């Protein structure tokens, strides 16, 4: 139960970080906000990368 709660909190924080990075990239690179596929596809890709990096940091490979 506690592990699931911790995982949920970490996911929420990662979602917020991905949202901030996505907003900065949209503004910096001038991505078209009207093109829904590009806009949300970029957000999903950024969230995937942030989540993957967090997984590698917090869950190192055990031998």
Average pLDDT over the chain, rounded to whole? Answer: 81
Query: What is the pLDDT, as a whole number, of residue 63?
Result: 57
Would the pLDDT of 17 be above 70?
yes
Q: What separation, in Å, do the N-terminal and C-terminal C-alpha atoms of the chain show? A: 26
Whole-model pTM?
0.68
Would the pLDDT of 18 be above 80?
yes
Classify residue 57 by burial, with Cβ atoms within 10 Å: 0-12, 13-18, 19+. Answer: exposed
Would the pLDDT of 60 be above 80?
no
Query: What is the pLDDT, as a whole number, of residue 39?
Result: 79
């Amino acid at each position: 139960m506690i592990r699931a709660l911790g995982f949920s909190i970490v996911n929420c924080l990662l979602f917020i970080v991905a949202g901030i990075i996505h907003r900065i990239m949209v503004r910096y690179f001038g991505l078209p906000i009207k093109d829904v596929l590009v806009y949300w596809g970029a957000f999903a890709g950024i969230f995937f990368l942030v989540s993957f990096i967090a997984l590698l940091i917090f869950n190192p490979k055990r031998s």
